[in-house]
């Protein structure tokens, strides 16, 4: 009879190894900083022309969903990246083609799945942050949800507690949650979390 123990042991080791992968997003951020910061800057510049968010709908980063927000209605379009329809739509909404190509290319290169401008409130005043999610590279195991590195770019420096957790106010009494997640410091204006939700 064939001995199957080595396979069982191998399976258990793989499971343990994948579940214990250390999350070092600070390292990830410093490695990809130029690309990530460029994504944020390009997105912000284009967002000023037309409010939008981008989502890659497949794991090969070939299909995207473009959400365009006008004053009265939100349009959601699905495209394949090579489609000419995409360029037509970008032009129609006065988005700069070369900048958008750069943004899409950069998002593909760091596996950024979703980028959006989120509103949040401090003392009843509306503020914005750029919210982007990158697929974490791990083994895809059945029954294990994929995880995302989520980065939040604020316009102003933020307050953090001694453990590096994002605080909601200068009074430093309460943790600020974004999409129901606690965020941690990368630098004064950028913070991260790891989540099963990318948006």
Q: Interface with another protein by CB under 8 A: which residues?
A: 55, 57, 59, 65, 69, 72-78, 118-121, 124, 126, 135, 145-146, 168, 174, 176-180, 196-199
Tell me which residue has tokens 């290169």: 109
Strands 181-182 and 63-69: unpaired
- Smallest separation (angstroms) from another protein to the CB of 121: 4
Check: CB of residue 156 under 8 Å from CB of residue 191. no
Min dist. Cβ of residue 77 to another protein (A): 7
3-state secondary structure of 28: helix
For another protein, the closer CB: 69 or 81: 69
CA distance 80 to 57: 10
How far is Cα of residue 117 from the mean position of the Cα atoms in its chain?
A: 11
Partners of 194 in the β-ladder: 149
Considering the complex, what minimum distance in angstroms separates the CB of residue 59 from another protein?
7
CB nearer another protein, residue 4 or residue 124: 124
Rounded to a whole number of angstroms, the minimum distance from the CB of residue 73 to another protein is 4
Q: CB 195 → another protein: shortest distance, Å?
A: 11
Between 148 and 153, name the residue whose CB sits nearer to another protein. Answer: 148
Nearest-angstrom CA–CA distance, 8 and 87: 51
Question: Residue 41 or 50: which CB sits closer to another protein?
Answer: 50
- Kindly tell me which of 113 and 185 has the beta carbon lying closer to another protein: 113
The CA distance from 53 to 43, in Å, is 9
| Distance of alpha carbon 184 from alpha carbon 166, whole angstroms | 6
């Amino acid at each position: 009879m064939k001995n199957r123990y080595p396979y069982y042991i191998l399976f258990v080791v793989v499971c343990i190894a994948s579940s214990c992968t250390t999350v070092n997003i600070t390292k990830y951020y410093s490695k990809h900083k130029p690309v990530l910061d460029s994504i944020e800057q390009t997105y912000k510049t284009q967002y000023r022309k037309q409010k939008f968010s981008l989502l890659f709908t497949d794991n090969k980063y070939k299909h995207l969903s473009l959400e365009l927000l006008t004053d009265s209605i939100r349009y959601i379009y699905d495209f394949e990246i090579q489609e000419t329809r995409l360029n037509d739509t970008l032009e129609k909404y006065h988005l700069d083609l070369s900048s958008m190509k750069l943004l899409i290319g950069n998002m593909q290169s760091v596996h950024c799945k979703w980028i959006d401008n989120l509103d949040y409130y401090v003392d009843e005043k509306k503020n914005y942050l750029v919210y982007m999610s990158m697929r974490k590279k791990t083994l895809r195991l059945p029954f294990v949800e994929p995880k995302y590195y989520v980065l939040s770019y604020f316009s102003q420096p933020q307050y953090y507690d001694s453990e590096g957790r994002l605080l909601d106010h200068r009074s430093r009494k309460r943790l600020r949650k974004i999409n129901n997640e606690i965020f941690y410091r990368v630098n004064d204006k950028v913070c991260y979390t790891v989540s099963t939700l990318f948006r």
